[in-house]
Amino acid sequence: MEATSKPTVARQPLWYRVVYDKETRSVAIQVLTLALLFAFFFYIVRNAVINLETIGKGYSFKFLWEASNYDINQHLIDYDSRSPHWRATIVGIMNTLLVAITGVIVATIVGFVMGVLRLSHNWLINKVVYVYIEYVRNVPVLLHILMVHGVIVNTLPRPKNAISLEDTFFLTNRGFYTPKPLFEPAMWAVFIAFVIGIGFTIWFRHYAKKVQDATGKIYPVFWISLGAIIVVPILVYFVVGSPMTFEMAELTGFNFKGGMVLRPEYLALTLALALYTAAFIAEIVRAGIQAISHGQTEAAYALGIKPSRTMSLVIIPQALRVIIPPLSSQYLNLTKNSSLAIAIGYMDIVATIGGISLNQTGREMECMTIVLALYLAFSLMISAFMNWYNKKMKLVER
């Protein structure tokens, strides 16, 4: 029996497929557009480098190792005017992250509380929260920052008349002074116990949930977690001999010296950004709660579950699937709005490497490249974390 050969199909030339095949033409247009964009940006960068070399600047980051020659009023690491510009950049990064992290925490807590109160049946509470939200959202955030900074600086007392708590904590218009912890080498044991406690808490929460799903038995997760994260490190702290002392703040001349201080610029910026963002978060939370069918609430009440437990165990977990995506945008906005810190003299990224360092070195392109890259990195990290959390909270199809 003779084998039958398959008919050969003539391969069409690429130009023919680009012209007459819709899918091939679409891919070709996208590739061409991308190539043109890369060529355009390459031309701009190359032209900028040539122009910089023409005026004797070039494009180099060697200036980062030169002395900065300026002071920063708040720094979480050792720094002085003799430190290089790269260290000033690190200080600016840490100051920006400090505002972003604390601001996000405060904004989330206040926003969730106001979002729930916005749905309160108490007329007075409902209207007070409504007026606050409408006022805050319709005023530019820069004005909030300037107002809060002005209130802190002009209403709090001077250092000589500081508000004191047991001669340990001092609140003045130049900052909030607290004892500064000084760690000894044995303090590492306490830190390790704390990290182990966090890891145990994460594992135990998953374990308790599995047991509850399988048998219905409920473990006291909160109290066990509290013991693992707080009580155990405290016990380790005393066992290893209390390896920590405190440096107290003392009034010397016209200001306090020693201790640890939270500057009014940091307090004003964090408070203003947090309260501003909280107003938007409150509306997101309100919309998320209202997106859940009222039948869920009625079913919980029918089972005898208290309103507070119904909100925390039934409504909020379901509403999070609606709340998380827009919540990510608010976290990004808060982080980027921290760049307004320069208006009140807070030394963040924009004020350090993007401000004073830029003016002293004349390296506009390099400094702006660093600032843009840092904010892009912050935004991508926040987006990645929120996308992971959103994926974790989505409904699991069975």
Q: What CATH number should be reported for the domain holding residue 363? A: 1.10.3720.10
pLDDT at position 9 is 46
The CA angle 177-180-186, to the nearest 5 degrees, is 165
Task: Identify the H or E element spanning 175.
Answer: strand 175-178
Average confidence (pLDDT) over 20-38: 80
pLDDT above 60 (res 10): no
103 — pLDDT class (breaks 50, 70, 90):
very high
Average confidence (pLDDT) over 238-260: 82
31-83 confidence digits (pLDDT tens): 888 999 989 988 887 887 787 777 777 777 888 899 888 888 888 888 888 88
pLDDT above 90 (res 275): yes
Domain assignment of residue 378, given as a range: 85-124+263-393
User: In this structure, are residues 359 and 110 in contact, taking their beta carbons and an 8 Å threshold?
Assistant: no
pLDDT at position 395 is 62
Is 147 among the domain residues?
no
9: three-class secondary structure by DSSP: coil
334-366 confidence digits (pLDDT tens): 999 999 988 888 999 999 998 899 888 888 888
Nearest to 103 by CA among 277, 345, 325: 277
User: What single letter denotes the amino acid at residue 246?
Assistant: F
Is 150 among the domain residues?
no
Mean pLDDT of the chain: 85
How many alpha carbons lie under 13 Å from residue 218 in its C-beta half-sphere? 3
Rounded Cα distance, 80 and 68, in Å: 9
pLDDT above 50 (res 1): no
Total tally of structural domains belonging to the chain? 1
Burial group, residue 252, by CB count within 10 angstroms (0-12, 13-18, 19+): exposed
What the block records as the tokens of 206 is 């998953």
183: three-class secondary structure by DSSP: strand
Is 148 among the domain residues?
no
Kindly compute the dihedral angle of the four CA atoms of residues 24, 28, 29, 32, in this order, to the nearest 10 degrees: 180
User: In this structure, are residues 62 and 85 in contact, taking their beta carbons and an 8 Å threshold?
Assistant: no
pLDDT at position 20 is 63
What the block records as the tokens of 268 is 């004003």
What is the pTM (predicted TM-score) of this model?
Answer: 0.80
